[in-house]
A and B are shown apart, each in its own frame.
Chain A
Amino acid sequence: MTRYVIGRIGQALLVLWAAFTLSFILLQAMPGDAVLIKFLNPEFGLSADQVAEIRAAYAVDSSVVVQYGHTLVNFLQGDFGYSLQAGVPVSAQLATNLPPTLKLAGLGFLAATLLAVFIAFLSSMAPFAWLRNAIQSLPSLFISVPVFWLAIMLIQIFSFRFRLVSVINPGPWESLVLPVATLAVPIAAPLAQILIRNIDEIRTRPFVAVARAKGASETRLLWRHVARNAILPTLTIAGVLFGELIAGAVVTETVFGLNGIGGLTEKAVGNQDLSVLQAVVVISAAAFVTINLAVDLAYPLLDPRLRTGQGAAA
């Protein structure tokens, strides 16, 4: 068991390092650099020599290998460098922009899970075939809706038409309602689909028939026997979908004008602010890896078969 945990943590660290290295290489491969973009701007009126001096001061002219080592050591110490565009440490930017995104992503994920479970259970308890089919087609509908369109429609309907949620100077929680809904719908769809399929599959297992032969009610069957077994494969997908969540957050923040990691990334891409981008990539990777590590570690808690490590031999 400890070997399993240590192995998983090791894998997670390896993935993080690979994400850092790959993003570093890709960002370096872009022509030009942030110093050139900022200081070659005619407004500054700097000569080529002066720009070269500044570049030397920021060490952007040294060899790629030296820069890589330098950045890696700094990252390991929690120093993400300076944002050239904003002129403040990247960590300071993160401190203001990360919490709203975390709140959005966390609540979005929670809402998506609840929505998925709701749809799946509703469909499996539906008394009529036509109702069941209707509910089961909801996820495909959800998947096909573009996030930006959904966001705009939600604002139109709930804020402007019904005036339920205010978008001008909203309260701290009120401002999150529509973004969270926007984010949750596309994530909930694949989750619900997988959950529905698993529930249908588990229902045909002999142990469910045995439970029914004991005189168990449909509710008991669903909660005690089907749900716990159906949730296991869904968990893996939930971890993978977390990546979707990060991508979705960028669009959602832009549409709702939230000042989060999404907005920060958008600006940094425009300005080739490499240290900001590098930090965003590493933090997203860290979040992704952590979630999936948590999923891997939760598995043995939910499935006793994984607790003993290797099953019986031969």
Chain B
Amino acid sequence: MSTSQKPVLDVRDLNISYSQGDERPTVVHGVSFTVEPGEVVALVGESGSGKTSTAQAVIGLLAENGRVESGSILLNGEDISRWSARRLRSIRGAVVSLVPQDPGSSLNPVLTIGAQVREILEIHGRLDRREADRKVIELLANVGLSQPELRIRQYPHELSGGMKQRVLIAIAIALRPALIIADEPTSALDVTVQRRILDLIDDLRREHGTSVLLVTHDLGVAADRSDRIIVLQGGRIQEQGRTVDVLASPQSAYTRKLLSDAPSLAAAKPRPPVEPGRPAALTISNLVQDFSLPTAKNFRAVDNISFSVARGTTHAVVGESGSGKTTTIRSIAGFQKPTSGEIRIGDLDVASLRSEALRQFRRKVQLVYQNPWASLDPRQTVQAIVEEPLLNFDPLPRAEREARVRAIIERVGLPATVLSRLPHALSGGQRQRVAIARALVLEPEVVVLDEAVSALDVTVQAQILDLLAELQRDLGLTYVFVSHDLAVVRQIADTVSVLHNGRQVDYGTVEDVFSSASTAYTRELIDAIPGQKFPRAELSRQP
């Protein structure tokens, strides 16, 4: 290539601000970096680090209230940061293209797949309809979609998440751009699908010699897939360098913290084995859960699952979407009657409970949900949120109730000043602490954690995982930990069930399952954990 000496992308001293009411805070401060031809550069950071704003500026897609204040963005040597909208349109898709974050909402629901892939050819090309159709089918085949002739007539809702992301990749590579911006391209996908999609991007990149700017919060993904890493925090570059160098000997304290908090990169610290003879807090035997469908025969969401969780231990339920995880925990919480099988909490048979007894039972099993933004009522103060379960179950005098709420809020590591605040005034980690406090205020026997740390940044995630471990140690809590993230599971659980299409394909202690998984599926799940290319032994951990 003749441009081999010139970087594809050269960002110099970039400053980006957003207007918020009368103010105009700067969110990206003096960011400079380059992307060489054929290179994969990872922009790594937590939410609010400015990684997405930086990437959006490169393709000219900043939100309406965002603005490039100063600095330059050189694409193939030309500064595009001051280009008009019309001029920018001519390079979008053709020279620089985008693989978006959430394939589920990134395709127009009312247009066919074929029309949406063809659109990029229509905008930039002069292909006639028949040629364009042939090219679309070729592209879809290229990204590994089966039956491309069928796909072009299908609508997005008829495709799975992984297939939709393949379609979006087909759009991104259609015109062989010099640079692809992949904005968290796999964070909404299951781990095995994630691996296949990242492999695909890798293959296509090698084939076409395209450069990739990979925006990700997942250090494991960055470690596996990038040549160079740029670590952003609060809109400033903390560190950049060759991936191997940054991971082996991080220069900034922040990078070191990120590395030690990332479950996929941290060395597994084995949990002390559970001494035998503990009584079971929760026993599930041969659980089957059918759902009736209006058209077909019954759908079996959970098929013959059995496990038992000793008091004071953590059992992880692992699986990809549609594996029956959620159905299983809904049955444990008594939200639905099992089609067959038995669920026992202590020595109580959940299925036998009716009305008031079932209501009283609910205090024994409490849930913490994935999304701390959606699971707290935005109009209730933290005080009201945490005391509501007490009002429902324990008629305590006001002073004592407030004391209990105050105690549990302190227990989860929040200052008492949050009690009078509304959820929107709290950070994601603080909100999840409130949700944990709400679950613990009734002193439940079993706490079900439904992807409770999946929506959090890694450093916050590490803090919440520490809190959960500490609470378990001090209060003897029993956890059922539902997760798609095997790296987290290895860190927090004692025993694990692996679910696949409603069946339990593996069950045992975490150590046994990780070291000698009995099925190919579990093996595949474990192998798909990102960050494995990285030599763990060399990792310098914080003291």
A residues neighboring B (CB under 8 Å): 205-207, 209-218, 220, 224-225, 228-229, 302-305, 308-311, 313-314
Q: How far, in whole Å, are A314 and B168 apart by their CA atoms in the complex? A: 25
**Which residues of chain B are near A313, meaning CB under 8 Å?**
291, 293, 299
Q: Please determine whether B109 and A213 come into contact, CB atoms closer than 8 angstroms.
A: no
Which chain B positions have C-beta within 8 A of A212? 61, 92
8 contacts between A and B (CB under 8 A): A206-B105, A214-B120, A215-B93, A215-B94, A215-B123, A310-B294, A313-B293, A313-B299
Q: Which of B105, B108, B301 has most A Cβ within 10 Å?
A: B108
Contact check, A214 vs B171: say whether CB atoms are below 8 A apart: yes
Check A215–B90 contact: CB distance below 8 A: yes
Quick check: A305 and B93 within 8 Å, CB to CB?
A: no
**Cα of A220 to Cα of B118 in the assembled complex, Å:** 14
Contact yes or no, B109 A216, CB < 8 A: no
Most chain-B CB neighbours within 10 Å: which of A210, A212, A224, A308? A210
Q: Cβ of B157 < 8 Å from any Cβ of A?
A: yes
Once bound together, how far apart are the Cα atoms of A303 and B100, in whole Å? 23
- Known contacts being A209-B61, A228-B110, A302-B110, is A310 close to B123, with CB within 8 Å? no
Total CB contacts across the A-B interface at under 8 A? 91
Interface of A is mostly: helix
- Residue numbers of B with Cβ under 8 A of A are 59, 61, 85, 89-94, 97-98, 100-102, 105-111, 119-120, 123-124, 155, 157-158, 168, 171, 291, 293-295, 299, 301, 322, 327
Q: Which A residue sits closest to B89, measured CB to CB? A: A215
5 closest A-B pairs by beta carbon, nearest first, are A213-B98, A215-B92, A215-B93, A214-B93, A304-B155
The answer on a CB contact under 8 Å between A207 and B293 is no
Contacts of A303 in B (CB 8 A): 109-110
The residue of chain B having its C-beta at the shortest distance from the C-beta of A307 within the complex is: B155
CB neighbours of A206 from chain B (8 A):
100-102, 105-106
Residue pair A216, B123 in contact (C-beta under 8 Å):
yes
Shortest CB–CB separation between residue A221 and chain B, in angstroms? Answer: 10
Q: Is the CB of A305 within 8 A of B123?
A: no
Q: How far is the CA of A225 from the CA of B119 in the complex (A)?
A: 11
Contact A207 B157, beta carbon cutoff 8 Å: no
Q: How far is the CB of A114 from chain B (nearest CB, A)?
A: 22
Please measure, in the bound complex, the distance between the C-alpha atom of A212 and the C-alpha atom of B62, giving whole angstroms. Answer: 11
Q: Which residue of B lies closest to A202 (CB)?
A: B108
In the complex, besides A209-B100, A213-B97, 17 extra interface pairs with C-beta distance below 8 angstroms are A205-B105, A206-B105, A209-B61, A209-B106, A210-B171, A214-B92, A215-B93, A215-B94, A215-B120, A215-B123, A215-B124, A216-B123, A224-B119, A229-B109, A303-B110, A308-B157, A309-B294
Cα A117 to Cα B35 in complex, Å, equals 45
Do residues A213 and B59 form an inter-chain contact, with CB atoms below 8 A?
yes
Please name all residues of chain A whose beta carbon is closer than 8 Å to the beta carbon of B120 when the two chains form the complex: 214-215
CB within 8 Å for A214 and B123 given contacts A305-B157, A314-B291, A314-B299: yes
Which of A207, A218, A308, A311 contacts B108, CB < 8 Å? A207
**Closest chain A residue, CB of each to CB of B120:** A214
Residues of A within 8 A of B102 (CB): 206
Measured between C-beta atoms, what is the minimum distance from A299 to chain B in Å?
11
Given A207-B106, A225-B108, verify A213-B293 contact (CB < 8 Å).
no
Name the residue of chain A whose CB is nearest to the CB of B59. Answer: A213
Is the beta-carbon distance between A213 and B92 smaller than 8 angstroms?
yes
Write the nearest CB–CB distance from A219 to chain B, whole angstroms: 11
In the assembled complex, the CB of A168 is this many whole angstroms from the nearest CB of chain B, namely 50
- When distances are taken between beta carbons in the complex, the residues of chain A under 8 Å from B105 are 205-207
Give bound CA distance, A212 to B93, whole Å.
9
Cα(A14)–Cα(B414), bound, Å? 57
When the two chains form their complex, are residues B89 and A217 in contact, meaning their CB atoms are under 8 A apart?
yes
Contact A210 B100 (CB under 8 A): yes
User: Which residues of chain A are near B93, meaning CB under 8 Å?
Assistant: 213-215
How far is the CB of A126 from the nearest CB of chain B, in Å?
13
Min Cβ gap A207→B in Å is: 5
Q: How far is the CA of A309 from the CA of B85 in the complex (A)?
A: 41
Q: How far is the CA of A203 from the CA of B26 in the complex (A)?
A: 24
List chain B residues, Cβ under 8 A from A228.
108, 110-111
- Given the complex, which residues of A lie within 8 Å of B158, measured CB to CB? 308
Q: How far is the CA of A220 from the CA of B120 in the complex (A)?
A: 12
Pick the contact of A305 from B109, B291, B299 — CB < 8 Å?
B109
Interface-central residue, A302, A305, A311, by most chain B CB under 10 Å: A305
